[in-house]
Amino acid sequence: MAPDTTWPSAPAIYQIYPRSFRDTRGTGVGTLDGITQKLDHVAKLGVDAIWLSPFYPSPMSDGGYDVADHCNVHPMLGTLDDFDKLVRRAHDLGLRVVIDQVFNHTSKEAPWFARSVARDPYYDEFYVWCDPKPDGTAPNNWLSQFGPPAWTWNHIRRQYYFHNFTAEQPSLNLRCENVKAEMRKIMRFWRDRGVDGFRIDAITSFVFNTEMADNPPATPEVQDRVSGENFVPYTYQDHVHDILPGDGLDYVENIRDWAGSDAFLLGEVTSGNQSVELACGLTQPGRLDAAYTTDLPERAGTAAAYADIMSRAEDPQALGWWLSSHDQPRHAGKSGDGSDRDVRFLSLMLAVSPGTVLVYQGEELGLCQPQLPKAAVTDPLDLLYWPDGPGREGARVPLPWAEGADRGFSTGRPWLPMDWASGLSVAVQEIAHDSNLRFYREIHAFRRDKLRGRKLQGWRHEGEVIGLDYDCAEVVLNFGTDPVEARPDPDIASGEMEGGTLPGRTGAIWLR
């Protein structure tokens, strides 16, 4: 374990998508060894932990989130020995290790599913099976979060199986005691290998109304808040029966029991109009340490979106604050205009937010969302609505570690095209006097040393300005383009102040 196993309050966590971090084999696909070799880059950012997206055996029909074996490493990424080396190196650098746990579903190719189809007594109820209606149609109107129906027929069992996402990802029956026993074994397996915490994928989809009632139509207000683009049919329903009804919040106490009281637990909320409220419920005592919603990135990181989250949160310090991930387009060009000014403003905005902060690999370089040809894309959601999908695959384009043809990522052909502009690489920004990378290091060191875990005493929202009042500091965030009056001489700012004026798209912090 890490020398200091106590988690800090409101840690900063750096997300790594293993296929796209660094390749050490020349295959064009990132490896665990590649992560190990470059962890010093992460440690220099001043974050507290890394979060590894799935590295498990998988047919990769959904980017690795279709897990076939929860207790092994995909051969193209490495071995369990490679994972153990990665954990040791992270701990040597003072970084804790968080790994993805995908408990909502498995791959259709997982051995469990075949045994459940065959009605093996132990596995019979591992998945959500349901008889058809008398006319042979699906049990109800539930839709997958990608849009198509959430039920797929299996002719061997002569039943439908439920899937929150693609038909390749059958949903586990997490009320089944045998499934619970397996989940506990999985978590203990990774804790015994030195893992310090878990990011719980799609936690709001874990349990559902066992009466299988139809979801009602969404009102326009509800549809606007349901996660996903509003042209996706999923947003047309009010998900009151297939998202954490009844005992859903209490169920999370099982996860805490399986992981242990000292593990950091971070949950992903993919629900609709009650996302922030659910996140706060999920983080009550005995449950998760933090939970994050899609509200801020999907609403382009505006002052109005920020204020809406703050006003709805019972405790904003229990939330995870973020803008980019493997599932969302890079925010430099979505929540900003791609300029260094906006990259630094948004990084300061996240760093001063009152809770856990999530940094996605490459955002410290100011990377914008790259354009990919359809022939290069493998993501099922992007392809389903091409060219209007969310751009998940673009966020997974490998990192530019250096200049040159291979960008320092691989000696082989990268699994996604790396058409990055020159000058964005780690190697260039490492030596540049005024780079985005250097600002990320500065703001996260400031956060770690001065702000992390400090109590939020109040906040305000006036037009395009958000103010945060901590017991140790005053923060002003100008989301607009017009300058606003502010105190001079901040202790740190994302841009140059002009006397008592804070320019547009600039944030500043004054220590008390």
Please give the angle made by the CA atoms of 96, 99 and 103, to the nearest 5 degrees: 150
Amino acid at the residue 403: E
Q: For the residues of 188-201, what is the DSSP string, one character each? A: HHHHHTT--EEEET
* Structure-token pair, residue 59: 């047919």
- Spacing of C-alpha 342 from chain mean position: 21
Catalytic: which of 100, 268, 289, 379?
A: 268
Q: How far apart are CA 282 and CA 63, in angstroms?
A: 26
Give the contacts of 118 (CB within 8 A, at least 6 positions apart). 156
Name the nearest CA neighbour of 267 among 133, 358, 351.
358
Q: H helices within 419-479, ranges in order?
A: 426-431, 436-446
Q: For the residues of 313-342, what is the DSSP string, one character each? A: -S-GGGBEE-S-BTTB--HHHHTS-SSHHH
Give the contacts of 442 (CB within 8 A, at least 6 positions apart). 492
Beta carbons of 186 and 219 less than 8 angstroms apart: no
The torsion defined by the Cα of 458, 464, 465 and 466, in degrees rounded to 10, comes to 30
Q: Cβ of 26: how many Cβ atoms within 10 Å?
A: 11
Amino acid at the residue 96: R
Answer yes or no: 201 catalytic.
Answer: yes
HSE-up of residue 36 (Cα within 13 Å, Cβ side): 17
* Structure-token pair, residue 492: 């740190």
Catalytic: which of 33, 201, 364, 406?
A: 201
Answer yes or no: 250 catalytic.
Answer: no
Residues 136-172: b if buried by 16+ CB within 10 A, e if exposed: eebbbbbbbbbbbbbbbebeebebbbbbbbbbbbbbb
Residues 253-269: b if buried by 16+ CB within 10 A, e if exposed: eebbebbeeebbbbbbb
- Spacing of C-alpha 208 from chain mean position: 22
Q: Which residues are catalytic?
A: 201, 268
